[in-house]
């Protein structure tokens, strides 16, 4: 009985430690901008602006967060954007890719509706579930 209790406590401690490691929000970025005017543009994580002019009747901005956060918010020119889609990301050979069936979720891609706008300063922020401060990223949408 004593060994069973010790094993249960050890398992509980390892699950708790693993959960706290998984909650750290390590990175946020803008993944892509897609619009009726500029088509789809996939951005590098360090992009400061889009290279194409975006806007028109349809515009969607996709963000990526690695780790776990909450209260994700996106704004374009100070106006709040509505989240219209979320895709979980898994680690596939060292790259964050959309989960296909099995895998451990390591983050999310969120798509925000900016339709009817012509670009401007885009801001995205997420509050981490674990330790650390608010993660923010901004991008100048041309």
**CA dist 28 → 82, 131, 140 (Å):** 18, 15, 16
pLDDT tens sequence across 7-21: 333 333 333 333 334
Mean pLDDT across 21-44? 89
Contacts by 40-49, CB closer than 8 A, 24 or more apart? 43/139, 47/139, 48/139, 48/140, 49/139, 49/140, 49/141, 49/142
pLDDT tens sequence across 84-119: 999 999 998 888 999 987 788 999 999 999 999 988
pTM for this one? 0.82
3-state secondary structure of 129: coil
**CA dist 111 → 74, 94, 104, 131 (Å):** 10, 23, 21, 25
pLDDT tens sequence across 64-84: 999 999 999 999 999 999 999
Domains of the chain: 25-141 (2.60.40.10)
What stretch of H or E contains 21? helix 2-22
């Amino acid at each position: 009985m004593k060994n069973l209790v010790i094993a249960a406590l050890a398992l509980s401690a390892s699950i708790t430690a693993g959960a706290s490691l998984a909650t750290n929000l390590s990175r946020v970025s803008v993944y892509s901008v897609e619009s009726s005017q500029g088509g789809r543009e996939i951005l590098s994580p360090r992009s400061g602006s889009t290279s194409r002019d975006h806007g028109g009747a349809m515009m969607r901005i996709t963000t990526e967060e690695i780790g776990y956060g909450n209260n994700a918010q996106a704004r374009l020119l100070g106006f709040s954007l509505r989240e219209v889609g979320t895709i979980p990301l898994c680690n596939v050979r060292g790259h964050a890719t959309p989960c296909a069936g099995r895998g451990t979720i390591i983050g999310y891609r969120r798509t925000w509706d900016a339709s009817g706008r012509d670009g401007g300063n885009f801001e995205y922020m997420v509050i981490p579930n674990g330790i650390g401060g608010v993660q923010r990223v901004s991008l100048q949408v041309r």
